[in-house]
Amino acid sequence: DGGITQSPKYLFRKEGQNVTLSCEQNLNHDAMYWYRQDPGQGLRLIYYSQIVNDFQKGDIAEGYSVSREKKESFPLTVTSAQKNPTAFYLCATGPFSYNEQFFGPGTRLTVL
């Protein structure tokens, strides 16, 4: 199947723990993005990557980290430094041009 997969679908974390959200794509898109969605708000950009081994901070990068070791994969780590991590996290990809972004199914993270 072609597309974007995110895992897990639901994730529970205790305070003080780091957790990693997975995002994998087989669309051969160069760019990948991580967004955070909170109730009543739009999507906010956390990190993005245009090519392998390169990534840039978005609007709300504090408390998050990423890596881009492979074109297909762009995992997001939510660290203990993120004060309010409970949210819905969406991964997106896009070709290296002015085109729409394609979204994965999302991961809902809850801090207990």
Residue number with CB closer to other proteins (78 or 90): 90
Site string for other proteins, 34-73 (x = CB under 8 A): ------xxxx-x--x-x-----x-----------------
Site string for other proteins, 76-95 (x = CB under 8 A): ------------x-x-x-x-
Tokens 């709300």: give the residue.
Answer: 60
Of the candidates 51, 60, 46, which has an alpha carbon nearest to the alpha carbon of residue 95? 51
What is the pairing mode between strands 107-111 and 10-13? parallel
Q: Least distance to other proteins from the beta carbon of 109, Å?
A: 12
98 near other proteins, judged by CB under 8 A: yes
Binding site for other proteins (CB under 8 A): 30-31, 40-43, 45, 48, 50, 56, 88, 90, 92, 94, 96-106, 108
